[in-house]
Chain A
Amino acid sequence: DGGITQSPKYLFRKEGQNVTLSCEQNLNHDAMYWYRQDPGQGLRLIYYSQIVNDFQKGDIAEGYSVSREKKESFPLTVTSAQKNPTAFYLCASRIQPSGNTIYFGEGSWLTVV
C-alpha cells in the first residue's frame, strides 16, 4: 500500500545525543515536510523540501537538520543543540505542482531521558 512510514514510533534520547527520525514515502510525492507537535499546541514547521538535494527552514529549524538525498526519504536529525526536543514529530508529503493535499505519517514520539 502507498503511504508515509515513520520510524521509530517511540524513541528515547539521552541528553547530549543526536538522534535521527526516519521518514519514507512511496507515493512518488515531490514535497516533504517535518512538523513538531507539543501537547495542547498546533503543529509547527521544522523543515521542508520540494525536490531532491534541496530543503528550506521552517519556523523552528534551530537544533534540527535534514537531508534529501532520495525522493522517497527525508530523515530528520534532532541534534544536541535542540534544548527541548521531547515532542511528537510528524512527517508529511505532497505531490507537486498541482497537488493541494498534504498527507501525514503516523508520527514518532521522542522523549529525552
Chain B
Amino acid sequence: DAKTTQPPSMDCAEGRAANLPCNHSTISGNEYVYWYRQIHSQGPQYIIHGLKNNETNEMASLIITEDRKSSTLILPHATLRDTAVYYCIVRPSGGYQKVTFGTGTKLQVIP
C-alpha cells in the first residue's frame, strides 16, 4: 500500500508561490514527513522535513495539519529552476526498509 498520495503534476507561474499537497492518512505518531526533489535526471535533493510542527528553511516551508494526515510544501517564490519532481515521503523513526519515494509530483514553473 502506498503511504503517501501526491498529484502527478502541477503548474505554477514564475514568481508565485507553489503549494504542493501530500496525503499521508495512515501516518503514525513516530513518523516524519520528508520532502525531496529531483531536477531532470540528477540525484534527489533534500528540501525539508518535520514531525508535527510547521517548519521553514531557506528553500521552503512545510505545513503539517493538526491531525498529521496531510501536509503542504510551499515554495514561496517559484523560479524556473524549481521545475522538478517533488517527492513526499513518510519515514518511520526506526529502519529504512519501508521507505519508498513513490512517483511524486512533477512541478512545471511557467514563465
Q: Do A and B come from one complex?
A: no
B residues near A, CB below 8 A? none
A residues near B, CB below 8 A? none
